[in-house]
Amino acid sequence: MTACRRPWRVGLLGTGKHGSRYARHIGEDVEGLELVAISRRSALGREQATDWGCRWYGDWREVVADAAVDCVIAALPPTLNRQVAEGCAAAGKPLLLEKPMAVTATDAAAILRLFEERGLGLTIGQTLRYNPVIRTLRRCLDGIGELHGLTANQRLEPNTLTWLDDPDQAGAGVSLHTAVHVFDALRYITGREIVRVFARSRCVHTRRLEDQLLALVELDNGVLGTVDCAKIGPARSGRFEFVGADGQLHGDQVHHTAEWIRGTRREPVDPGPPVQTIVPLLTDWLAFLRGEAPNPVPGREGQAAVQIATACLRSAATACWQPVQP
């Protein structure tokens, strides 16, 4: 292997349920990335490091400081993301930061500024962009003519992780941890910006952080839509519906379906086979690190999703329309 094609050595911060997915895919599915160090506060990290053939640190800062680490993936509670970004920027190491990018719009802007000032790569793990149904909706949207309306939902099972109901670790509830995926997907599919929102939220099973969010959204061309994100029932869905001058386009990224609706006729659209969305993200990230392709999900994309989510939090608190602040 030539010097320019050597593996990029990855430090992974956080090896819980989601972080472990990254570790597995790096080891099994993406040639050119090598996992060399992980951080986890519990001693389980030692066992994981043995299984994955890498070093274990109890503190994420030690991973960032490790001279053998070329780049970093962070899958930690998002209240730590600004500290992680500051550490990676100071060390000059590209960062793939799991969503949500930050818990406030101020932190998101600060993180982005750090990496842009240093010319470092900042990539956001908005993996829903790689879902075949989402990509099908993006590809087919023009087929319904001028867009007049939309609706989207992301409904998941109730939280089982206690930290997701802890403001000091999670920052907020489904507005940040679920809806950012939907907001990013709507921007990706339509190519439009969400400019203001009216939101209501509540706690159904949780005590402190909302597990249900309903929001009216207005796009930059005046189109109105609804977003429904919740972790309150046992059944999953991830449905997107677009209403146009010439018909409707529907899809459900959880159930892997898509269809045209024209009049009363429903015409299935084949989205192709399902994919493990982390794999193509890591593949594209590696190409970006090597200078062979653009950043797959630049920091500004993650910032935009956080800005929309925080506007929803402000709206739910004030019971009025709130602008999405740039």
174-222 per-position pLDDT tens digit = 999 999 999 999 999 999 999 999 999 999 999 999 999 999 999 999 9
Residue 4: pLDDT band (50, 70, 90) is low
CA separation for the pair 106, 129 (Å, rounded): 24
Give the model confidence (pLDDT) of 21-69 as tens digits. 999 999 999 999 999 999 999 989 999 999 999 999 999 999 999 999 9
Say how far apart CA 266 and CA 187 lie, in whole Å. 25
Q: For residues 317 and 112, is the Cβ–Cβ distance under 8 A?
A: no
Q: What is the pLDDT of residues 104-131, one digit of tens each?
A: 999 999 999 999 999 999 999 999 999 9
Residue 2, pLDDT above cutoff 80 = no
Q: Is the pLDDT of residue 166 over 80?
A: yes
The position carrying tokens 């010097």 is 3
My answer on whether omega of the bond before 100 falls inside 30° of 0, hence cis, is: yes
Residue 66 is encoded by which pair of tokens? 């490790």
Distances (CA, A) of 8 to 93, 171, 235, 297: 11, 32, 39, 19
pLDDT in tens, 254-310: 999 999 999 999 999 999 999 999 999 999 999 999 999 999 999 999 999 999 999
Reported as a pLDDT band with limits 50, 70 and 90, residue 325 is confident
Prediction pTM value: 0.95
Length of the chain: 326
Residue 228 pLDDT exceeds 50: yes
Reported as a pLDDT band with limits 50, 70 and 90, residue 161 is confident
> Are residues 52 and 35 in contact, defined by beta-carbon separation less than 8 angstroms?
yes
Distance in angstroms between the alpha carbons of the first and the last residue of the chain: 44
Arithmetic mean of pLDDT over the chain: 96
Confidence of residue 3 (pLDDT cuts 50, 70, 90): very low
* pLDDT tens digits for range 68-96: 999 999 999 999 999 999 999 999 999 99
pLDDT above 80 for 1? no
What percentage of the chain exceeds 70 in pLDDT?
98
